[in-house]
Structure 1
């Protein structure tokens, strides 16, 4: 009669050991791929404001990894717009963030709306795709950011530039300079929330 509990414990132990082995094995086989991409660079806050069709601030409440086809559909009969008459069906790995808007400064969104914003790179299967020089551009769930975006009808919005188009802020509306990549050589833009709001009011 005492054998059953022993057998059960042995089976459970085997499952736990297998689970640990599987997770370890899975992490060991993760492959890393670096992606290169060119983005427009901006010299001033005003340039960012003018270029963005949507400017918001809000909290990242979730994120997911997706393979997206961001090719715009074109007239397949137009040889200039679509040489060969075929639509590109290739996909690109993205991290798609879900953001609850705290305030909308520019564009068609309003407070408490939810918007999706995509950033190149992510984990698809056992491959981690990372944008070159993107270590300072990583966005984090539950953190708050100001975003300078370009929006689309059938695709999540995009940052104008991964290093220049998102800025973390704290509960007092202060840009978090200690964590901000604005000190990076690729981004010389420096501003306060009040300066941003004043600029938007003047336009």
Structure 2
């Protein structure tokens, strides 16, 4: 088990632990290098679409483009706080994220317009032969139509407020479907009403 690291994403402090599964081939020199890394994060949860809408800095509907990139984001050191050496090493190593491009078709909240693209990051991805995944994470699908509740940042891609509650699949009739585990329902009409408040 690797040390814990506090990182900022979607407006909350997340406790992230990476568990590495070692290779079964002990004759190789990299036998102890992780092949799979599991991130565990504690996101805020919400009880209504009002809360999601209020908390989000950007609420959009759009299509996820097929191209994505996997990068390592290195977190800035907390100001005025010394971290234990193993945690500092983890911070410097950074978190692996997949960055997706969403072409916006409708804006409910935020400073974008239809036709704009928004970069959205999610924990996990495959980098340098290692598969990183988030425990309870639900990756956005290529060409999927979604309504997303996001927090934006000046220096990095946006984040879902919650990996399950922050994304709604858009069906053929423009209805919004909650993911399994998300009991909050909403609709385009409801989001229009919230936007008009």
The TM-score normalised by the length of structure 1 is: 0.71
1:34 aligns with 2:38: yes
Distance in 1 (alpha carbons) for counterparts of 2:63 and 2:70: 18
Indicate the structure with greater helix content.
1
Matched residue, 2:94: 91
| 4+ runs deviating over 6 angstroms | none
Query: Which entry has the higher C-alpha Rg, 1 or 2?
Result: 1
The gaps in structure 2 that reach 5 residues or longer are 1-33
Q: CA deviation at 1:160?
A: 0.5
Superposed CA offset, 1:68-106 (max 9, x none): 12x34776xxxxx3448x9x5331000100111101111
Secondary structure of 2:147 counterpart: strand
Superposed CA offset, 1:112-138 (max 9, x none): 01110000111112111111122xx22
Matched residue, 1:64: 69
The gaps in structure 1 that reach 5 residues or longer are 1-29, 76-80
* Cα pair distance change 1:111/1:73, threshold 3 Å: farther
Secondary structure of 1:89 counterpart: helix
Name which of 191, 195, 199 aligns with 2:194. 199
The TM-score normalised by the length of structure 2 is: 0.73
Indicate the structure with greater strand content.
2
Matched residue, 2:130: 127
* Cα pair distance change 1:142/1:49, threshold 3 Å: same
- Aligned positions of 1:1-203 closer than 5 A: 31-61=35-65, 62-69=67-74, 71-72=75-76, 81-83=80-82, 89-134=92-137, 137-175=138-176, 177=177, 180-181=178-179, 183-184=180-181, 187-201=182-196, 203=197
Distance in 2 (alpha carbons) for counterparts of 1:162 and 1:40: 10
